[in-house]
Amino acid sequence: MPTASGPEQLTSADLNHDCLPDFVVAANLGKAVSVLLAKAGGGYEPAAKYDFGMPKFYPAEGFASSYLALADLDGDGSLDVASTKRLSDIVGVLRNKGNGSFGPELTYPTGTDPYGLIAGDFDLDGAPDIALAAYTGNSLTLLSNVACSP
């Protein structure tokens, strides 16, 4: 299954509510997030448990996409994608339209050169937030979610 070039990290979850696991891949060289949606009826043969459609590529604002986190960041019930951009000072958020396709990437400021990230409700208000480790900035950025009011 092809992805954008230089895939670094991947994660899996059901992005389109069909109970089949989909994949999201962060690509460094290709500067994109690749989304592969599982197709129903893929069978259970070895190494081909699920058949995937052609991946969709979401350009990463011209920066290498390194790490991913999935969470329902806008509170609409579908998982969204947050990805760090190496050698930048932003994190990108792709909002799931509910069917596993995504709108234009939104960006938010971080420390210098964000790398690893995790999603979690760090301020205990019920909405998922994002914490990022900034590689050359030697810092941790905590982005509190104000878009989601559960």
Query: Which residues contact Ca ion by CB under 5 A?
Result: 14, 16, 18, 20, 22, 72, 74, 76, 78, 80, 96, 121, 123, 125, 127, 129, 145
Distant-in-sequence, close-in-space partners of 118: CB < 8 Å, separation ≥ 6: 69, 130, 131
CB of 135 to Ca ion, least distance (A): 24
Torsion of CA 53, 48, 34, 23, to 10 degrees: 110
**Smallest separation (angstroms) from Ca ion to the CB of 22:** 4
Smallest distance from the beta carbon of 115 to Ca ion, in angstroms? 22
Q: Which amino acid is at 58?
A: Y
Nearest-approach distance from CB 87 to Ca ion, in angstroms: 28
- Cα 60 to Cα 13, 33, 86, 120: the distances in Å are 20, 7, 10, 22
Q: Residue 122 corresponds to which amino acid?
A: F
Query: Which one, 90 or 148, has the nearer CB to Ca ion?
Result: 148
